[in-house]
Amino acid sequence: MSADSKSGLQLRSLIKKSGELEISLQNVPTPEPSADEVVVRVEATPINPSDLGLLVGAADMSTAKASGTKEAPVITAKVPDAAMRAMAGRLDQSMPVGNEGAGVVVKTGSSDAAKALMGKTVSMIGGAMYAQYRTIKVSDCMELPAGTTAAEGASWFVNPFTALGMTETMRREGHKALVHTAAASNLGQMLNRICLKDGIGLVNIVRKAAQAEILQKIGAKYVVDSSSPTFMDDLTNALAETGATIAFDAIGGGKLAGQILTCMEAAINRDAKAYSRYGSNVHKQVYIYGMLDPGPTELYRSFGMTWGVGGWLLFPFLMKISGDDRKRLRERVANELKTTFASHYTQVVSLQEALQLSNLAVYGKRATGEKFLINPNKI
């Protein structure tokens, strides 16, 4: 380990009992690796929507203020009183952030598996990635194929495994095609590439015509726009053609989840022979995996009695499948990192730049088409 890797900057998010969010950079010592660990110099770590939950919590970012110095900027913002109850579990704890990342192994523990990674570029999962150095278990690393950069491998986990988790869940629960909302996102584009490659019917729901174009350009067959006056009919037609009876919804709030169930039921009943006052007996499922709209989910239950809505999370899914299945998914991601699972970034920033109000305002919006990559060792 080079002398200067003994400590490094780490981004921290703190919500105080007083109701103030504080995001700052702290110089922390790099833990010595145990036998099965390595120290990685982090060179690329994305800002995913799933990171923002921990980074800004329930704070109202329209109240955000910058202070500190250029080298050690500090962001503060107010958490609304009504939202403090949900933050109870993390109050007054300074928390590291960043689910996934990639970088170069600069020191290793004594095991053969650890030593074999010395000098290699690896992808990592496990939190605390918004930092210059990360001491981490070998089993939480994946060695990248030769010729793959840290930036190319940084988003190897959250989006690829989430997208694969959707098609795997679809199969395991007996559905033959699926629906995805907020579908023009990086994740949504990835899901389209998987479905095109694997021959799976995918109905993309977007909120703007421009987002529909993004998907049509990459070959998406079914794209429906929820802002269109013909949305319900368009969606029902696409559902009837694909036979999709499961949806993954990133939005959560509002009427969309219920509208999807209503259109699924209408598509199924196009072929109904007899009246059933309880609706069709085909199970219709919407999994909510994000909360772009934190408002209430409103279900107008005009879709019979054979339906479910629920939360879906990547990690419980990965715990549920077998070790062989996890290995299969991991190998697929490694092999298709530059094609199916490629991510696109609009900006690469340092840790300090990530804490500039002007940047926070952009990535904090979770807007489709804007994706930031942090290089904590950017000079």
Residues that bind its own copies (CB under 8 A): 53-54, 57, 85-86, 89-90, 93, 95, 252-253, 258, 269, 272, 274-278, 281, 288-289, 291, 294, 296-302, 304-313, 316
Minimum Å distance from CB 276 to its own copies? Answer: 7
Minimum Å distance from CB 118 to its own copies? Answer: 33
Minimum Å distance from CB 204 to its own copies? Answer: 23
Q: What is the dihedral of CA 136, 138, 140, 146, to 10 degrees?
A: 110
Q: Which is nearer to its own copies, 319 or 379 (CB)?
A: 319
As a whole number of angstroms, the distance between CA 330 and CA 333 comes to 5
Contact 173, 285 (CB under 8 A): yes
Minimum Å distance from CB 134 to its own copies? Answer: 20
As a whole number of angstroms, the distance between CA 37 and CA 110 comes to 8
Residue 222 exposure: Cα atoms within 13 Å on the Cβ side: 26
Q: Report residue 80 as tokens.
A: 């609304």
Minimum Å distance from CB 53 to its own copies? Answer: 5
Q: Which is nearer to its own copies, 33 or 258 (CB)?
A: 258
Q: Report residue 316 as tokens.
A: 């419980």
Estimate to the nearest angstrom the gap between the alpha carbon of 258 and the chain centroid. 23
Q: Which is nearer to its own copies, 300 or 344 (CB)?
A: 300
- Looking at the DSSP bridge assignments, the partners of residue 32 are none
Q: Which is nearer to its own copies, 295 or 369 (CB)?
A: 295
Q: Which is nearer to its own copies, 91 or 106 (CB)?
A: 91
Q: Which is nearer to its own copies, 29 or 296 (CB)?
A: 296
Minimum Å distance from CB 227 to its own copies? Answer: 21
Q: Report residue 301 as tokens.
A: 């239950």
Q: Measuring CA to CA, how many Å separate 353 from each of 51, 143, 258, 304, 366? A: 17, 28, 40, 51, 18
